[in-house]
Amino acid sequence: MKDYVKAFRYLVSALAVSAAFGLVCFAQQASGNRLVQAQAQREVPADRVAGLVAEWTRAKDYTREYIDVMSEDGLGLKPTPDIRSFADQMLHLADGLYFFCKNVFGVDTPEAARGLEKKEDLKKSKAALQKAVADSYDFMIAQIKTQTPAKLDETVTMFGTKMPRYVGIAKAFEHQTHHRGQTTIYIRLKGLKPPNERLF
């Protein structure tokens, strides 16, 4: 009789575990379907200029999230003494956008935006840092909006290398991605959680 009771209890336990597992799988599947549906509703513009504007706007928003999540007292953080601080990285990113605008589009950097990485006041305030970086993205996006498909294919020279203008824009995108990505470890070192990846 005891063996039957043990077997029955085992069967009930096994069924309970299976049911729980099934519910978890169902919930994950349902959640995944909602995510896929949400992603399916988005569409990157087929127009080259509009597509670039969309991508750069995404990059601007993503960088803003990085600055937002860092604490005010973390702006001056350097993982090691010989590398840039968090604020330095972001200002170097912004300086880079103006540099690429000069070389890819032939437009001068606004006076107020020159030498951002050397401006100590921008390294002490999240609000000031946020504005300086956002302005650099807005400047880049404004130049892209003036383009046409034909202009994107025109040849420009940068670092002694000839390339289509759209490749120069891609180099600028790579540069900002590189420096924003470096700051992930800074955020972790402050015990904070970096923003989730934003591919779309």
- Structural domain containing residue 8: 1-41
CATH code of the domain covering residue 52: 1.20.120.450
Of 38-47, 63-72, 191-200, the least confident? 38-47
Tokens linked to 41: 């509703």
pLDDT digits (tens, 9 = 90+) for 7-36: 434 433 433 334 333 433 333 454 444 544
Mean pLDDT across 69-87? 97
Residue 195 lies in a domain: no
Encoded amino acid at 100, one letter: F
Tokens linked to 124: 């002490």
* Whether residue 150 is found in the same domain as residue 92: yes
pLDDT higher than threshold 90 for residue 37 = no
Q: Are the C-beta atoms of residues 93 and 176 closer than 8 Å to each other? A: yes
pLDDT digits (tens, 9 = 90+) for 156-171: 999 999 999 999 999 9
Quote the pLDDT of residue 20.
Answer: 37
* Whether residue 33 is found in the same domain as residue 62: no
Residue 57 lies in a domain: yes
Residue 194 lies in a domain: no
pLDDT higher than threshold 60 for residue 145 = yes
Quote the pLDDT of residue 43.
Answer: 86
pLDDT digits (tens, 9 = 90+) for 81-132: 999 999 999 999 999 999 999 999 999 999 999 999 999 999 999 999 999 9
Mean pLDDT across 177-186? 98
* Whether residue 177 is found in the same domain as residue 85: yes
Instruction: Centre a 10 Å sphere on the Cβ of residue 98 and count the other Cβ atoms it contains.
Output: 22
Task: Indicate the length of the chain as a whole number.
Answer: 200
* Whether residue 55 is found in the same domain as residue 119: yes
* Whether residue 128 is found in the same domain as residue 88: yes
Quote the pLDDT of residue 165.
Answer: 98
SS3 state at 29: helix
* Whether residue 22 is found in the same domain as residue 64: no
* Whether residue 148 is found in the same domain as residue 164: yes
Encoded amino acid at 198, one letter: R
Quote the pLDDT of residue 40.
Answer: 59
Quote the pLDDT of residue 31.
Answer: 45
* Whether residue 97 is found in the same domain as residue 140: yes
* Whether residue 128 is found in the same domain as residue 159: yes
Give the C-alpha distances (Å, rounded to integers) separating 184 from 5, 45, 180.
Answer: 56, 29, 7
* Whether residue 16 is found in the same domain as residue 101: no
* Whether residue 14 is found in the same domain as residue 66: no
Q: Are the C-beta atoms of residues 75 and 117 closer than 8 Å to each other? A: no
Give the C-alpha distances (Å, rounded to integers) separating 98 from 58, 101, 103, 157.
Answer: 18, 5, 9, 16
Taking the C-alpha atoms of residue 183 and residue 133, their distance in angstroms, rounded to an integer, is: 14
Number of domains, the chain: 2
DSSP alpha helices (H): ranges in 112-197?
A: 126-145, 149-152, 165-189
Mean pLDDT across 59-71? 98
Residue 196 lies in a domain: no
Mean pLDDT across 145-151? 97
* Whether residue 121 is found in the same domain as residue 34: no
Percent of the chain topping pLDDT 70: 80
Encoded amino acid at 51, one letter: G
pTM of structure: 0.80
pLDDT higher than threshold 90 for residue 182 = yes
Q: Which residues contact 49 (CB under 8 A, 6 or more apart)?
A: 144, 145, 147, 148, 149, 152
